[in-house]
């Protein structure tokens, strides 16, 4: 059965461009971003890995480790990383998993046979420090993902796991957030000393509490 939000992310051992890893050990107590791409030496994938590499510091600031996966072999990954570094002006510093036997692809349901019988689709999972799946997105091969959006979701997940708030549509770090529905408006004034704006009884905002 395929994974769903709230499920425990399956652990695995894998061969990667950074050596042999145990997924859980690699993540430690931090957050994880596991994302698949269809194939090495393809244009959209090259830009996706390049963007991810350009954002490595941003992921590190958020205590998040990134891993890419496809069913291509290790030597192919290694050669392609040189191309990514050269063409995208980056230095890929995260592991690319060589999932030749499809262990990871199967555990995370990354092959969608009606899209491609052999290649992984563009799946992306955010995994929390508790090893629970917090986000899943799936894009087709023809559409590159927006890695700024991945950072934005990570910001929202990290905020909402620590405070009784949610983030509204198109929210960005630093903007007002929505007060959780279980908190009475009376309690909200105490809980959120930066201010409470009541638009409707069910729609109440407060400045981002951790800023």
User: Could you tell me which of 139, 133, 144, 113 has the C-alpha nearest to residue 51?
Assistant: 144
At residue 185, what are phi and psi to the nearest 5 degrees? Answer: -60, -35
Is residue 103 part of the annotated active site? The answer reads no
Cα end-to-end distance, the chain, whole Å: 40
Nearer to ligand BEZ among residue 60 and residue 141 (C-beta): 141
Query: 33 and 51 in contact (C-beta within 8 Å)?
Result: no
Site string for ligand BEZ, 27-66 (x = CB under 6 A): -----------xx--xxxx---------------------
Burial of 39 (0-12, 13-18, 19+ CB in 10 A): middle
Nearer to ligand BEZ among residue 42 and residue 56 (C-beta): 42
138 is a contact residue toward ligand BEZ (CB under 6 A): no
> What part of residues 142-201 is at the interface with ligand BEZ (CB under 6 A)?
142
- How near is the Cβ of 43 to ligand BEZ at its closest, in Å? 4
Query: Residue from 141, 166, 176, 209 that binds ligand BEZ (CB under 6 A)?
Result: 141
For residue 145, CA distances in Å to 26, 37, 69 come to 24, 10, 15
> What part of residues 67-86 is at the interface with ligand BEZ (CB under 6 A)?
none
Query: Residue numbers of the site for ligand BEZ (CB under 6 A)?
Result: 38-39, 42-45, 141-142
Q: Which residues are catalytic, by number?
A: 45
């Amino acid at each position: 059965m395929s994974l769903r939000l709230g499920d425990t992310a399956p652990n695995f051992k894998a061969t990667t461009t950074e050596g042999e890893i145990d997924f859980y050990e690699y993540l430690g107590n931090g957050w994880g971003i596991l994302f698949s791409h269809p194939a090495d030496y393809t244009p959209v994938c090259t830009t996706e890995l390049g963007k991810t590499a350009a954002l490595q510091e941003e992921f590190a600031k958020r205590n998040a480790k990134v891993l890419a996966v496809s069913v291509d072999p290790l030597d192919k990954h290694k050669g392609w990383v040189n191309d990514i570094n050269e063409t995208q002006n980056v230095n890929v510093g995260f592991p690319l998993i060589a999932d030749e036997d499809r262990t990871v692809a199967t555990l995370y349901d990354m092959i969608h046979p009606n899209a491609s019988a052999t290649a992984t689709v563009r799946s992306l999972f955010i995994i929390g420090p508790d090893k629970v799946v917090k986000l899943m997105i799936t894009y087709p091969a023809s559409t590159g993902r927006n890695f700024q959006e991945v950072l934005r979701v990570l910001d929202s997940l990290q905020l909402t796991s620590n405070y009784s708030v949610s983030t509204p549509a198109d929210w960005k770090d630093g903007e007002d957030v929505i007060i959780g529905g279980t908190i009475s408006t009376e309690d909200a004034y105490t809980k959120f000393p930066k201010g409470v704006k009541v638009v409707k009884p069910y729609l109440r905002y407060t400045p981002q509490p951790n800023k």
